Amino acid sequence: MNGILIVDKPAGPTSHDVVSRVRKILQQRQVGHLGTLDPLATGVLPLVVGNFTRLAQFYLSSGKSYTGVMRFGFATDTYDAEGEASSAMQTVTLSCESVREIAARFRGSIEQMPPPFSAKKIQGVPAYKLARRKADVPLKPVKVEIKELEILQVEGDRVQFRARVTAGTYVRSLAHDMGQQMGCGAHLESLRRTASGEFELADAHTLEELEAAATSGQAEELFVHPRKILPQFPCVTANEETVAYIRNGRAMNLPEFSSARMVKVFCGQRELVAIAKRVAGTLFHPEIVLTAEREVKLTAQQP
């Protein structure tokens, strides 16, 4: 079972919890995720299954889109609603104009400090472990880009927003920093990821839907069609001879893709055989082979 599955993550479990549950549902050991979601957050959590775990390297810089709610009036130690208040609670009256003025300061490339309760490593130790021990968490700011930050509605002390950000951006930190700018403190009350890379909520399935499909032997029907993944790479449908070359790690000539840097090589409509990289002129060499020669030989020997 190989492919990419998009889970609509519920609030509560960690991303690792979701991966563990999917492993049990699919009875598949090789399952990983393409970027974590905090336990509080819901929405698009792409999972790679089987040999497709090898594609994770191409998703390290995938952008993310979110909707959510920030609550102003006090900050928390985790920068979200799961933490303890770290500032005195204030009664605030917000206007769309004032919040949008503050939001405008964060659009574009900024230096952002990760939350102390995060998975950032400090001398090999996750920051959240140090924070739980009340130890110093000497984090360094990271350059990120807030491509879109739209204030949708302001009601009392709560602000609904939509954001589109680069990989590595903490929306919790964004809420915390906006609260500091407003002088009243703020934290992230809720968050829903609506897109991660090319994957959107329309592609997502609940864990309950996956479990039902697996019970009826139809789990793979919920996987993303392999031709939809990595849309920045053109698709090549190879003949059997070329597929054999690719599976053996040999290069192939693709004159019609002379301007492409990488291509997806398919056998038929659905079987993704490899990701190939242009090495010179029109010559492409397999960067990742998803169906090994040994596996092909074993399959051929079966009666």
The pLDDT value recorded for residue 296 is 38
**Residue 29 Cα to chain centre, angstroms:** 20
Q: Tokens in use for 183?
A: 């002088």
SS3 breakdown of the chain: % helix, strand, coil, rounded to 5? 30, 35, 40
Active site residue 38: yes
Q: At 12, which CATH number? A: 3.30.2350.10
Shared domain for 32 and 82, answered yes or no, is: no
Contacts of 294 (CB under 8 A, 6+ apart): none
Residue 229 lies in a domain: no
Cα gap 241→239, rounded to integer Å: 6
Shared domain for 203 and 214, answered yes or no, is: yes
The pLDDT value recorded for residue 295 is 40
The pLDDT value recorded for residue 173 is 95
**Residue 123 Cα to chain centre, angstroms:** 25
Shared domain for 77 and 158, answered yes or no, is: yes
The pLDDT value recorded for residue 100 is 96
Give the residue numbers spanning the domain of 247. Answer: 235-301
How many residues does the structure list for the chain? 303
Residue 72 lies in a domain: yes
Q: At 265, which CATH number? A: 2.30.130.10
Residue 228 lies in a domain: no
| Threshold 0.95, pTM exceeds | no
Q: Is 104 helix (H, G, I), strand (E, B) or coil?
A: helix
Cα gap 195→290, rounded to integer Å: 26
The pLDDT value recorded for residue 299 is 34
From the list 38, 157, 177, 203, the catalytic residue is: 38
Shared domain for 204 and 190, answered yes or no, is: no
One digit per residue, the tens of pLDDT, for the chain of length 303 reads 899 999 999 999 999 999 999 999 999 999 999 988 988 999 999 999 999 999 999 999 999 999 999 999 999 999 999 889 999 999 998 999 999 999 999 999 999 988 886 666 655 666 556 556 666 666 788 999 999 999 999 999 999 999 999 999 999 999 999 999 999 999 999 999 999 999 999 999 999 999 999 999 999 999 999 999 999 999 999 888 888 888 888 888 888 887 889 999 999 899 999 999 999 888 999 999 987 544 433 333 333
Shared domain for 110 and 150, answered yes or no, is: yes
Count of domains forming the chain: 3
Residue 31 lies in a domain: yes
Neighbours of 130 (CB within 10 A): 18
The pLDDT value recorded for residue 80 is 93
